[in-house]
Structure 1
Amino acid sequence: MTMQFSPNISFPGNATEALRFYHEVFGGELDIMTYDDMPDMNFPFEPPAGTVAHATLNSGTVYIAGGDAMGPDSPGLASEAYSFLLQFDNVVEARDYIVRLTAGGGEVTMAFEKAPWGDYYGQVTDQFGVVWMLNAADN
């Protein structure tokens, strides 16, 4: 059996901006399809022009899917109920990603320091409200 787990994020109208930012951070291949690009499928809603129906970012190590949430009751992304964990082989690489994830206006919400389990650990909330946990082996 072959399976891959990846998050699918429903952005509050800024999916293109967010996924382009993640493309800058992680690299890889970004594919964005708007509702304008799709055939008429009789959706139960009227998507605004340019709204993202489906997008994927595949960097080889990070795979993110997403699109724009539809409807006035769409939740925002800022939440402490979920986060994405990035695992690194070394502290230097993890610190580089902290800089990348905060470059657009994000913030370090937990300092990247030696953790009780022996690795280095910290948290960042990016400019879109997504929480990233970073863990790196201490070598």
Structure 2
Amino acid sequence: MAGTISTYITFNGNTAEALKHWQDVFGGELNLMTYGQTPMEGMPFDPPADALAHGVLSLPNGGLISGGDSMDGEYPIRDTAYSMLYNAESVEDGREKINKFVAAGGEETMKFEQAPWGGSYGQVFDKYGVMWSISAE
């Protein structure tokens, strides 16, 4: 099997909430496991039982977004040094995803429109501060 690249993101206590939001936007199957659901012997830290140990959102297109709660403080999320890239099935699909993010409290920071390379492209920050780049051929 060839190697793949997936996204893993960490929030300070609300990773499960973010994964559920992304499931609302993109669909897919979500599996969540708290520390209370794991055998906690041998952990190098003492996590709260309700903290997310590991979550995986399996997207309908085969992509994965995984994550877990931070155990050591704040992580800076909102930045433009990185983004999650969604390659939309169509221009309409791209607009729909941006509209869902905005309706849920996100902010469109680059209008989704014709890009110089021929497709359509735009950017939106979701309500968790994650920048989503949306692209469509």
TM over 0.5: yes
Partners of 1:93 and 1:131 in 2: CA distance = 18
2:72 alignment partner in structure 1? 71
Once the two structures are superposed, residues 90-138 of structure 1 have per-residue CA deviations (whole angstroms, 9 ceiling, x without a partner) of: 211110011112222111011111111111110000001111101112x
Count residues in correspondence: 136
Counterpart secondary structure, 1:40 = coil
Are 1:26 and 2:26 matched, yes or no? yes
Normalising by structure 2, report the TM-score.
Answer: 0.92
Corresponding position of 2:87: 87
The alignment-based identity, stated in percent, is: 44
5+ residue gaps, structure 1: none
Q: Give deviations 1:44-79, integer Å, cap 9, x for gaps.
A: 22212310000100023231010101113x313112
Cα distance in 2 for residues equivalent to 1:90 and 1:9 = 26
Q: What is the CA RMSD across the aligned residues, in angstroms?
A: 1.3
Distance in 2 between the 1:109 and 1:21 partners? 19
Q: 1:87 Cα deviation (Å)?
A: 1.2
Corresponding residue number in structure 1 for 2:103: 103
- The aligned amino acid for 1:70 is M
Unpaired runs of at least 5, structure 2 = none
In 2, Cα distance between the equivalents of 1:3 and 1:102?
A: 34
Q: What does 1:54-65 align with in structure 2 at a 5 Å threshold?
A: 54-61=54-61, 62-65=63-66
Q: Measure the CA separation in 1 of the matches of 2:40 and 2:85.
A: 38
Aligned partners of 1:43, 1:78: CA distance in 2, in Å?
30
- Please tell me the residue identity of whatever aligns with 1:66: G
Runs of 4+ aligned structure 1 residues displaced above 2 Å come to 1-4
1:10 aligns to 2:10 (yes or no): yes
